[in-house]
Structure 1
């Protein structure tokens, strides 16, 4: 009996201990369902929802490498330079009671091999906030100015060849979209290098349809008390695109250098890029361009621009530039653009010329 009692007591104790351990056991919760990144197709390709929010985000950019040879018109030695850039674009959008709230940032990391201008630059090229509604958009921040972007950059190569007029600065603008092809813009833009409340006042109109667009824009420099204007017409004919720009500037701006000059010049001056070293500045200029798509991956383009030299260029009568190049996309995401630019300038001493050759490689993502 004693042995049986002992065995029975041991079994009861073991069962009790097992129950106690079961009561103390840690229960592992079921894992939360994994939240995958959702595609946001409201604003176009490439957007996705930031997890846990209703904000759509797109991240993109490009890596560029460029080689450029320049033979200056003023008798200086030629230069050969290499240039590289990494640009990162971040575009965030969400719907609010006031419309679509957008923020856009464009950061650049630049390297330049040339001994005089060579430097490594890290800077914010564009950074602005927009409130977009059905009939209009308010933009606040740093951006390509309406004077540069609203009617196009004046070249089949995009901003690659935009050496005329005011280009990038802080702005407060409103763009009206009529929904029938008509649009208008009004803006205050910051005068770069100036710490006073002096601004450029800009306003323009545009009418665009499937065949192309026509428009006009003007800007007034409140510090220099000078102004500039552009008339633009572009036509689309299937694989063939043509365009023309007429420019006017009331005052000189070519000799302005913020590093050495104490006087301010007109920010809406028309300056020649290739003849910059002879300080060409125009009252009038005319530009025409054409671009033809040869295949699905290759296009050829050309542009011609004429400048008079009414302002500031002593002994200079007029100048012109001729640009030609290829736009080749051999595979998706890779763009190769060789370009040659040639120009002549008439002075009291006769004529002089200059030319520039560039090849640019862009890998976009």
Structure 2
């Protein structure tokens, strides 16, 4: 046997052995199938099923950069210096969970908000947290008094609109009506009172073609005063006309600006991306003295411009001029960039 024959025989033997070992190799078990996230379209866009459950979850929010301008909008430091402009940034995220029950959808909402005036002056807060089922809502949420016209000139809302509340609201596609009991501990209270308060508010509104309306009222039990407000909008020409009026029997947690006020605006849809909104408001007995509306009148005029840069990204600029009879006039405004998701 020559060297060549010996090498060929050895190679054949190794191949046989290798084949036997390969036949006896341990085969890894197939991996368990992965449960991919499923889209939940029962409650609108953006919802998905939480894996392993029948609960649908939606995550959305926005990032905002804003520069405020006006008389002493910045904080005064220990050296007495102040600023007439101030940049602020906000990040907000909302979690909405929904699941079907025999009483209708069960909804839970958590909203977290993070604000930064600078690198060290920052804050985080729970902006809303509530549960909702069959028209009943309980938790921390904004009241009907948080609503307003689309521009920035009107000043017809409560000084604080976020409350721990319980409410019931009946609603259809074109109408709603409800009543709420609000804890008003951080609202307005008189000089000889404590911030331990409760209020009752009612709201109703709806749409009829190009016209929409809203009526809101609230009674502050501790201050024994209340307020009522009416708003309406109608599509006219290239824009939407908005009108509002508010009346207060006295200062309360529901309204503190004036005894009564009226506001108007016209939101002009200049292009598909550009909206221009001039507005005006008149106050009677503007401001509070000795726990009562006992001052002169005031006027406010302003302009707000909204521009949709691209989908989910817009810019807003607003300037407002306020002229009270018994105080100095002032001009304020802001420029905002916001990206929603």
Matches within 5 A, 1:81-120: 81-113=86-118, 119-120=121-122
Aligned to 1:186: 179
192 and 162 in structure 1: CA distance in 2 versus 1, 3 angstrom threshold: farther
- How much has 1:51 moved relative to structure 2? 1.2
Aligned to 1:293: 269
Pick from 301, 305, 312: which aligns with 1:322? 301
1:213–1:234 CA contact under 8 A, matched in 2: yes
Summarize deviations over 1:61-108 as a string: whole Å, max 9, x none.
111111111127xxx976211111000111111101121011111101
1:251–1:311 CA contact under 8 A, matched in 2: no
Aligned to 2:3: none
Matches within 5 A, 1:237-316: 237=236, 239-252=238-251, 266-271=252-257, 282-309=258-285, 312-313=288-289, 316=295
1:71–1:77 CA contact under 8 A, matched in 2: no
- How much has 1:223 moved relative to structure 2? 1.0
2:286–2:324 CA contact under 8 A, matched in 1: no
CA distance in 2, matches of 1:37, 1:77: 52
Matches within 5 A, 1:174-253: 174-178=168-172, 181-193=174-186, 198-237=197-236, 239-252=238-251
1:247–1:270 CA contact under 8 A, matched in 2: no
Aligned to 1:123: 125
Summarize deviations over 1:37-80 as a string: whole Å, max 9, x none.
111111111111111111111111111111111127xxx97621
- How much has 1:197 moved relative to structure 2? 6.9
CA distance in 2, matches of 1:139, 1:162: 27
Aligned to 1:256: none
1:345–1:352 CA contact under 8 A, matched in 2: yes
- How much has 1:363 moved relative to structure 2? 1.0
CA distance in 1, matches of 2:162, 2:117: 20
1:340 and 2:319 are equivalent in the alignment: yes
CA distance in 2, matches of 1:196, 1:83: 29
Aligned to 2:5: none
310 and 120 in structure 1: CA distance in 2 versus 1, 3 angstrom threshold: closer
Summarize deviations over 1:290-319 as a string: whole Å, max 9, x none.
211111111111221111116634873111
CA distance in 2, matches of 1:64, 1:311: 31
1:316–1:345 CA contact under 8 A, matched in 2: no
Matches within 5 A, 1:44-55: 44-55=44-55
Aligned to 1:359: 335
Aligned residues: 305
CA distance in 2, matches of 1:178, 1:224: 34
Deviates more, 1:315-324 or 1:239-248: 315-324
- How much has 1:110 moved relative to structure 2? 0.4
1:331 and 2:310 are equivalent in the alignment: yes
**TM-score (normalised: structure 1):** 0.76
SS in 2 for 1:32: coil
Cα RMSD after superposing both structures: 3.0
- How much has 1:162 moved relative to structure 2? 5.3
305 and 162 in structure 1: CA distance in 2 versus 1, 3 angstrom threshold: closer
1:43 and 2:19 are equivalent in the alignment: no
CA distance in 2, matches of 1:311, 1:328: 34
Summarize deviations over 1:200-237 as a string: whole Å, max 9, x none.
10112223123122232210011111101101111134
CA distance in 2, matches of 1:352, 1:197: 33
Summarize deviations over 1:248-298 as a string: whole Å, max 9, x none.
11113xxxxxxxxxxxxx202232xxxxxxxxxx11011111211111111
**TM-score (normalised: structure 2):** 0.81
CA distance in 2, matches of 1:323, 1:270: 21
Summarize deviations over 1:166-209 as a string: whole Å, max 9, x none.
41111101111245x23201000111348987311011222312
100 and 106 in structure 1: CA distance in 2 versus 1, 3 angstrom threshold: same
CA distance in 1, matches of 2:255, 2:186: 16
